[in-house]
Amino acid sequence: MSNEQIVSEVESLNKEYRYLNEVSIQESSAKGKLSGVCVSVKDCIVVKDMQSRAGSRVLTGYSPVFDATVIQKVREQGGTIIGKTSQDEFGFGSFNTNVGLGLNIPLNPFDKTRCCGGSSGGAAGLTQKAGFHHIALSESTGGSIVCPAAFCGVYGLCPTYGLVSRYGLMDYANSLDKIGPMAKKVEDVALMLEVIAGYDEKDSTSVKHEKEEYSSFVGKDISGMKIGVIKESLGEGVDPQIASTIQEKIAVLESKGATVEEVSLPLNNSYSLAAYYLIAMCETSTNLSKYCGMRYGKHESLEGSFNEYFSGVRSEHFSAEAKRRIIIGTFARMSGFRDAYYIKALKVRTKLIEEYKKTFESYDVLISPTMPVIAPTFSEIGQMSPLDHYRMDILTVGPNLAGLPHMNIPAGFSKDMPVGLMVIGNHFDEGKLLQIGKVLE
Ligand code: GLN
């Protein structure tokens, strides 16, 4: 396909489904693993000379002067960048409906009255619909890769925290953010991970981990693998049709020689949501302070005191969900409340990590549904409270808090909508996730 054909396909898809905030082609002159592959980039990952807004109106007009490390790596391997995909503002959401004023809310590829999931909804929808060879770069803080991948029926892998550089990623919550790939095929997920993984001195949380050939895991047999099925994830609150679809896939894994047992993660089941939202909001309330109408994006005419100026810009250009998170996050780390909320959440986080680590002494991977429901309709979403939104992430926040790799695998359909199975691995066990993914493809 020529560049013109790709642009015209993306533009017509965009008219119908609104997957991108910015359609713009940047070719690479290099030859490598991604030659001939189109790469879309979640709006929060900076691309030089391409408007990058993280789904927020406050960043209107921000055209980065540098590339994120992952973008540099994509270019070195010959990938063609095709634009910036729609997302919840700074990653704040599970349905991609919390977008900055005037930005795109993507429509589900299987039913336009339903959402794509979030926060990387545009990436997932485009991955499902693109008729050309395409891999998406997306990002997860608490589930933003696997949730939309589940709702749109594609693969999405969130790697171990620190495996992929965050340099050039606009922070949501630094201790939680990870960049990872989405694709229609397991091979492409492995390929992109191979390209973007690796130590980066520009990211102080980047990990020195030996380089791995992720593609070599695709197609490797799983006999003898020990799989734990998370008991709480198939019980109350989970759509029974989703639970039965997951059970069918578990039977497939057993038939391929894996041993399957039920495991219980009571601490994660009870406390991961509360710990996640406190930590994520505390971190983001400090991260968003740099968007004040001085450095990036929106500027207004300087009137009044600095406080009045900053408040004016922020009041006008942040959406309601961003403001909610700034207020809650600031409250939870104020002196007088910090010990009761932020510090306690950090302690709980350690307990949750210990629970996973103990479980991985006996199991290679853990399995659950990715989401407890199929993609909701926009009218259902309109009736949910903010807490109802947060509760949707019950199954995905645990592995994110623990920095564990996890992947969505399309598992079937319920009411004609995709159902996702989530496989969670121990730190740096991305290979095992790819093995399971291929067996179920
Ligand atoms: N839904 C979660 C939140 O709103 C996770 C989003 C994400 O991973 N960026 O925080």
Is any ligand 1 atom within 6 A of the Cβ of residue 93? yes
**Residue 175 designated active-site:** no
- The verdict on the CB of residue 87 being under 6 Å from ligand 1 is no
Report the C-alpha gap between 197 and 162 in whole angstroms: 9
What's the gap in Å between 143 CA and the centre of ligand 1? 6
Q: Report the distance separating Cα 104 and Cα 113, nearest Å.
A: 15
Q: Which of 52, 56, 144, 165 is catalytic?
A: 144
What is the C-alpha separation between 73 and 182, in angstroms, rounded?
A: 16
Ligand 1 centre from 237 Cα, in Å?
20
CA distances from 385 to 96, 106, 376 (A): 15, 21, 14
Q: Is the CB of 272 under 6 A from ligand 1?
A: no
Q: Is 142 in the pocket of ligand 1 (CB under 6 A)?
A: yes
Closest Cα to atom 10, ligand 1: which residue?
92
Q: Which tokens hold the place of 25?
A: 């082609």
The pLDDT, as a whole number, for residue 299 is 80
CA distance 376 to 115: 6
Whether omega before 119 lies within 30 degrees of 0, making that bond cis, reads yes
Ligand 1, atom nearest to 98 Cα:
4
pLDDT digits (tens, 9 = 90+) for 178-202: 999 999 999 999 999 999 999 999 9
Site to probe by mutation for ligand 1, drawn from 43, 92, 98, 389 as the one with most ligand atoms within 8 Å of Cβ, is: 92
Residues in the chain: 441
Residues 6+ apart with CB under 8 A from 16: 107
Tell me how far CA of residue 399 lies from CA of 165, 349, 421, in angstroms.
19, 11, 14
| Cβ of residue 119 lying under 6 Å from some atom of ligand 1 | yes
Q: Is 31 in the active site?
A: no
**Ligand 1 site, residue 172, Cβ cutoff 6 A:** yes
Ligand 1 atom nearest to 280, measured from its CA = 10
pLDDT at residue 295 tops 90: no
Thinking of the domain 3-223+403-439, which architecture would CATH place it in? Answer: Alpha-Beta Complex (3.90)
Q: Which of 119, 120, 140, 368 is catalytic?
A: 119
Going by pLDDT thresholds of 50, 70 and 90, the confidence category of residue 101 is confident
- In this prediction, residue 294 has a pLDDT band, given cuts at 50, 70 and 90, of confident
Question: What is the position in ligand 1's atom list of the atom closest to the CA of 396?
Answer: 5
Q: How far is the CA of 145 from the centre of ligand 1 (A)?
A: 9
Per-residue pLDDT tens digits for 321-370: 999 999 999 999 999 999 999 999 999 999 999 999 999 999 999 999 99
The yes-or-no verdict on residue 132 having pLDDT over 90 is yes
Q: Cα(196) to centroid of ligand 1, in Å? A: 22
User: How many Å lie between the centroid of ligand 1 and the Cα of residue 174?
Assistant: 13
Hey, what are 392's tokens?
């949707």
Looking at 42, 129, 178, 184, which residue is catalytic?
42
Q: Percent of the chain having pLDDT more than 70? A: 100
Q: Flag whether pLDDT at 399 surpasses 90.
A: yes
The answer on pLDDT for 302 being more than 90 is no
Spatial distance between the Cα atoms of 430 and 367, rounded to a whole number of angstroms: 14
CB of 399 closer than 6 A to ligand 1?
no
Over the stretch 133-166, which tens digit does the pLDDT of each residue have? 999 999 999 999 999 999 999 999 999 999 999 9
Q: Is the pLDDT of residue 436 over 90?
A: yes
Which among 88, 158, 177, 276 is the best mutation to test ligand 1's pocket, defined by most ligand atoms within 8 Å of the CB? Answer: 88
Confidence (pLDDT) at 140 = 98
Question: Each residue of 50-89: pLDDT tens digit?
Answer: 999 999 999 999 999 999 999 999 999 999 999 999 999 9
Atom from ligand 1 closest to the CA of residue 144: 8
> For residue 296, is pLDDT > 90?
no
pLDDT digits (tens, 9 = 90+) for 376-398: 999 999 999 999 999 999 999 99
For ligand 1, mutation pick of 94, 282, 385 (most atoms within 8 Å of CB): 94
The preferred substitution site among 119, 370, 406 for testing ligand 1, maximizing ligand atoms within 8 Å of CB, is: 119
The domain spans of the chain are: 3-223+403-439
On average, the pLDDT of the chain sits at: 97
Residue 298 confidence (pLDDT): 79
Q: Is 311 a residue of the active site?
A: no
Q: How far is the CA of 94 from the centre of ligand 1 (A)?
A: 6
Question: How far, in Å, is the centroid of ligand 1 from the Cα of 51?
Answer: 22
How far apart are the CA of 177 and the centre of ligand 1, in A?
10
